[in-house]
């Protein structure tokens, strides 16, 4: 008999889902938790606040049982800094530490590897008010203390860590790190100051993990936006290169090579922007490179040359050749393959896809089902392209779909559903929060069971 072809996906590949603490946990004022900048965020009309979310805090055992049934071997979530240090400072909160002990123990008891993000846009509100968030080196030091507390507590329970979620958003959105530009400061100089402080915080966390739990792995993460030149004009091609350098390559270069690339330092010198370097910063970055590179991937855009554009990352536009979701995000599975091939060719490091998914409007059928064929098609096509990249030599260590259960979107929308498990609530009515398996649940279960062979 002819031998069966061995799967391109290794047996220890990590299949699972990804969420954040603030989009799932709820229990906003329980267990000693303090307020974060997310809790203070204005709620758009018709959206939800974060007080209950999908109540993972009280239902984690039920949800993890569903994840085991799905076949998950990995589950990514974040730790809420405010559950550990309610005001960002002071003494650790034992109730918060014990909650994550229980979650990680439950995951491991069900054969699921925790993949944990230290920071996912939820700075303690007190640190934003007192220090202007990561604009201050004081907050960098407090982040290091938080990271060390976490690593010491969960050594042996968590083997995969991410420092910051989508760290490349810091240049355009420093407010996600609790930092607001003062009126008397140049916004671009301020953005690079916050960016540098976040790099230092990242490196301090990497150093702490090396000292406390050297057997664990840690990665740097960006949101990967694959970009194409708007036309074949050389000006658009060059603009595309420059946009990618600032939005993607800059961050991976520091994560993987430990230094600011010349295309960034030359740009800053030309603009007269001085980085807030302190003694030891350059050596810290150089010595604390990561074990793997990670990214979220949802869409692609095009880049057009722009002479006048106030954004740091200039010229981004929607791609007119691609279908879009209801929220205007281009659906581009080939863009994922391009991203994987580019990153691996540049760094030859393991890559972990830690977010990929599609938001859809869905309601429960009378028989308790959800026919989400559009999600199945989206995930299938992206996993197919991931496999093609792996066949071409790219080392991918895991694929985490965004969601698992439905969760509030980053803007507080419940109608924008991502999960393969329906949660019975909407934006304004909590209903009963009961969980139901969507059609995609059974599809993804088969994908994992066959290690990606049956799509």
Catalytic residue among 25, 113, 166, 355: 355
Strands (E), 19-102: 74-78
Q: How many residues does the chain have?
A: 455
Phi-psi region of 302 (alpha: psi -120 to 50; beta: other; left: phi over 0): beta
User: DSSP secondary structure string, 131-195?
Assistant: H-GGGSHHHHHHHHHHHHHHHHHHTTT--EEEEETTGGGGTT-GGGGT----TTS-HHHHHHHHH
Strands (E), 62-141: 74-78, 113-119
Question: What are the boundaries of each domain within the chain?
Answer: 12-448
CA–CA dist 36, 80 (Å, integer): 9
The closest alpha carbon to 313, from 192, 442, 141, belongs to 192
Strands (E), 326-402: 351-355, 396-402
CA–CA dist 140, 280 (Å, integer): 14
Q: Which CATH number fits domain 12-448: 3.20.20.70, 3.20.20.100, 3.20.20.80, 3.40.50.300?
A: 3.20.20.80
Q: Is 355 a catalytic residue?
A: yes
Handedness of CA 90, 94, 99, 101 (dihedral sign): positive
The closest alpha carbon to 314, from 230, 252, 234, 232, belongs to 230
**Backbone phi, psi, residue 397, to 5°:** -100, -10
How does pLDDT run along the chain (455 residues), one tens digit per residue? 444 557 899 999 999 999 999 999 999 999 999 999 999 999 998 899 999 999 999 999 999 999 999 999 999 999 999 999 999 999 999 999 999 999 999 999 999 999 999 999 999 999 999 999 999 999 999 999 999 999 999 999 999 999 999 999 999 999 999 999 999 999 999 999 999 999 999 999 999 999 999 999 999 999 999 999 999 999 999 999 999 999 999 999 999 999 999 999 999 999 999 999 999 999 999 999 999 999 999 999 999 999 877 788 989 999 999 999 999 999 999 999 999 999 999 999 999 999 999 999 999 999 999 999 999 999 999 999 999 999 999 999 999 999 999 999 999 999 999 999 999 999 999 999 999 999 999 999 999 999 999 99
């Amino acid at each position: 008999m002819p031998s069966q072809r061995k799967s391109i996906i290794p047996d220890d590949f990590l299949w699972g889902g990804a969420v954040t603490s603030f989009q799932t946990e709820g229990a906003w004022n329980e267990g000693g938790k303090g307020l974060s900048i997310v809790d203070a965020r204005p709620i758009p009309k018709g959206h939800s606040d974060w007080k209950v979310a999908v109540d993972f805090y009280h239902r984690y055992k039920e949800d993890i049982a569903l994840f085991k049934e799905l076949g998950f071997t990995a589950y990514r979530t974040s730790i809420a800094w405010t559950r550990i240090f309610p005001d960002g400072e002071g003494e650790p909160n034992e109730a918060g530490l014990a909650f994550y002990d229980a979650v990680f123990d439950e995951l491991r008891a069900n054969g699921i590897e925790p993949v944990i993000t230290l920071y996912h846009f939820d700075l303690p509100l007190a640190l934003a008010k007192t220090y202007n968030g990561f604009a201050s080196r004081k907050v960098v030091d407090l982040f290091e203390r938080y990271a060390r507390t976490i690593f010491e507590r969960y050594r042996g329970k968590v083997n995969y860590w991410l420092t910051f979620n989508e760290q490349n958003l810091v240049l355009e959105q420093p407010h996600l790190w609790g930092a607001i530009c003062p009126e008397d400061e140049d916004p671009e100089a301020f953005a690079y100051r916050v960016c540098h402080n976040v790099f230092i915080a990242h490196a301090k966390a990497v150093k702490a993990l090396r000292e406390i739990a050297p057997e664990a792995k840690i990665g740097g993460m960006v949101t990967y936006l694959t970009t194409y030149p708007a036309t074949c004009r050389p000006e658009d091609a060059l603009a595309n290169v420059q946009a990618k350098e600032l939005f993607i390559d800059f961050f991976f270069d520091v994560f993987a090579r430990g230094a600011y690339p010349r295309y960034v330092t030359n740009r800053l010198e030309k603009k007269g922007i001085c980085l807030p370097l302190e003694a030891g910063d350059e050596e810290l970055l150089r010595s604390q490179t990561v074990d793997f590179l990670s990214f979220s991937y949802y869409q692609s855009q095009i880049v057009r040359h722009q002479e006048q554009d106030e954004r740091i990352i200039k010229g981004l536009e929607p791609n007119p050749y691609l279908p879009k979701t209801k929220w205007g995000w281009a659906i581009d599975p080939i863009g994922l393959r391009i991203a994987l091939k580019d990153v691996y060719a540049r760094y030859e490091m393991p890559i972990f896809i830690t977010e990929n998914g599609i938001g859809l409007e869905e309601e429960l059928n009378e028989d308790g089902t959800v026919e989400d064929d559009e999600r199945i098609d989206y995930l299938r096509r992206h996993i197919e392209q991931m496999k093609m990249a792996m066949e071409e030599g790219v080392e991918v260590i895991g694929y985490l779909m965004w969601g698992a259960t439905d969760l509030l979107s980053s803007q507080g929308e419940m109608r924008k559903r991502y999960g393969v498990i329906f949660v019975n609530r909407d934006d304004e009515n909590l209903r009963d929060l009961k969980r139901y398996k969507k059609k995609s649940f059974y599809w993804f279960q088969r994908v994992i069971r066959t290690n990606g062979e049956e799509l």
